Amino acid sequence: MEWTAVDNDACAVTLTSDVLGDRWSVLVLREIFNGVRRFDDIQGHIGVSRSVLAQRLRRLMDHGILHKREYQAPGDRPRYEYRLTEMGRSLQPVMQAMMEFGDRWLTSHDDPTVIVRHKECGARVKVTSVCAEGHVIDEPRDLYAVLGGAPLKSAS
Amino acid sequence: MEWTAVDNDACAVTLTSDVLGDRWSVLVLREIFNGVRRFDDIQGHIGVSRSVLAQRLRRLMDHGILHKREYQAPGDRPRYEYRLTEMGRSLQPVMQAMMEFGDRWLTSHDDPTVIVRHKECGARVKVTSVCAEGHVIDEPRDLYAVLGGAPLKSAS
DNA sequence: CAGTATCCCAAGCGATACTG
DNA sequence: CAGTATCGCTTGGGATACTG
């Protein structure tokens, strides 16, 4: 099929890429998906400067991916933690697809760093392409993309 | 569970994030997944400067995601096109997960920009989390992550 | 068509120090 | 603990012009 230019401002991939942000944001998200939720802990783990971390957290909050919660351990001073919103949680397939790609192609070791499991049965979870007819598609070549109904790029 | 710091240099998400690169690289990949393969076409579609596009293409080739092919339409002068390697094609789930996230949360219109279909049956394809027991998991909260066997961060 | 070379500017970064 | 403020410095970017 022939492709007219997709409107960048309306393209889902573009927009998601903007929300994900840069490398630092992705690392922040990894930490939070892993349950690391406090400023200094995140900073220690990923080794980013404080100002950049603050900016990334704010950015992720602005996009509705994270929200900040204050909590108080009894007799302790208040703490803050960053948690995923529902929108943030729905980035899980993106993160996991990245994980699986990295484990397949990029890591030197055989074992994955992180394994995702199903709470209900404990079995390992993978991201899978499935069509509406129920076929599982392992080979990307068995897919094709067509334009949907969204507006195209206006200009020439 | 308690999390020890994952070694950033061994983390699959980190490494994939590096390969994906920045916004421009992702847009380049979108174009190439959409079958737009020539330098000037890509440049026209995504509106990046020539030097940056050249650098991103080189980078994606260095990472083994793309390769460059010369071809010759009969009686025409040689042309070049960028194609996905097998490694590049296996980024498809990542791209599609991004697309689905964007379509759900970020686009203003109801219709998706791009629809992915199964060649064999034409049915629409979605990325799905499936566990080894065959359960389909729609809700990210029904998942949990544990450390795999990969090495942890060495320092402090 | 498919790039490379140059230039100049702006944004981004880490380091450091400071605040509630 | 959880940030903000300030500061140089480097990197990266678009624009433009040039080459095979």
Q: Is pLDDT of B53 > 60?
A: yes
B40–chain A Cβ distance below 8 A for any pair: no
Residue A144, burial from CB neighbour count under 10 angstroms (0-12, 13-18, 19+): middle
Which residues of chain A are modeled with pLDDT < 50? 155-156
A151–chain B Cβ distance below 8 A for any pair: yes
pTM: 0.95
Q: Is pLDDT of B156 > 80?
A: no
Spatial CA neighbour of B108 closest among A150, A85, A17: A150
Q: Is pLDDT of B73 > 90?
A: no
| C-alpha span between A102 and B140 (Å, rounded) | 20
Residues in chain B with CB shorter than 8 Å from the CB of A111 are 148-150
Q: What is the pLDDT of residue B135?
A: 97
Q: What is the pLDDT of residue B106?
A: 96
Q: What is the pLDDT of residue A128?
A: 98
| C-alpha span between B51 and B59 (Å, rounded) | 12
For chain A, how far is it from start to end, CA to CA, in angstroms?
Answer: 19
Spatial CA neighbour of B95 closest among B146, B35, B24, B20: B20
| B97 in Cβ contact with A132 (< 8 Å) | no
Spatial CA neighbour of A65 closest among A98, A92, A100, A45: A92
| B39 in Cβ contact with B80 (< 8 Å) | yes
The answer for residues whose C-beta is within 8 angstroms of residue A117's C-beta and 6 or more apart is A123, A124, A125, B131, B143, B144, B145, B146
Q: What is the pLDDT of residue B62?
A: 97
Q: Which residues of B72-110 are buried (b: 16+ CB within 10 A; e: fewer)?
A: eeeeeeeeebbebeebbebbbbbbbbbbbbbbebbbeee
Q: What is the pLDDT of residue A155?
A: 42
Helix, strand, or coil (residue A127): strand
Per cent of chain B over pLDDT 70 is 94
| Strand D contact with A52 (CB < 7 A) | no
- CA torsion through residues B24, B83, B85, A13, sign: positive
What is the tens place of the pLDDT at every residue in B2-47? 667 788 778 999 999 999 999 999 999 999 999 999 999 999 999 9
B4–chain A Cβ distance below 8 A for any pair: no
| Residue in chain A nearest B142 by alpha carbon | A119
Rounded mean pLDDT, B94-115: 93
Q: What is the pLDDT of residue A156?
A: 36
Q: What is the pLDDT of residue B147?
A: 87
Side chain identity, residue B146 = V
| C-alpha span between B127 and A125 (Å, rounded) | 13
Q: Contact B30/A18, CB-based, under 8 Å? A: no
Q: Which residues of A124-143 are buried (b: 16+ CB within 10 A; e: fewer)?
A: ebbbbbbbeeeeebeebeeb
Q: What mean pLDDT value characterizes chain B?
A: 92
What is the tens place of the pLDDT at every residue in B134-147? 999 999 999 999 98
| Residue in chain A nearest B27 by alpha carbon | A14
Q: Which residues of A41-76 are buried (b: 16+ CB within 10 A; e: fewer)?
A: ebbbbbebeeeebeebbebbeebebbeeeeeeeeee
Residue B132: Cβ within 10 Å count: 13
Q: How far is A56 from chain B (nearest CA, A)?
A: 15
Side chain identity, residue B86 = E
Where does B12-153 have alpha helices with state H?
A: 12-20, 23-33, 39-46, 50-62, 86-89, 92-105
Spatial CA neighbour of B130 closest among A125, A143, A104: A125
Q: What is the pLDDT of residue A115?
A: 95
Q: What is the pLDDT of residue B109?
A: 78
Predicted confidence band of residue B66 (pLDDT cuts 50, 70, 90): very high
Residues in chain A with CB shorter than 8 Å from the CB of B16 are 98-99, 101-102, 106
CA-only gyration radius of chain B, Å:
19
Q: What is the pLDDT of residue A8?
A: 78
| Strand D contact with B50 (CB < 7 A) | yes
Predicted confidence band of residue B154 (pLDDT cuts 50, 70, 90): low
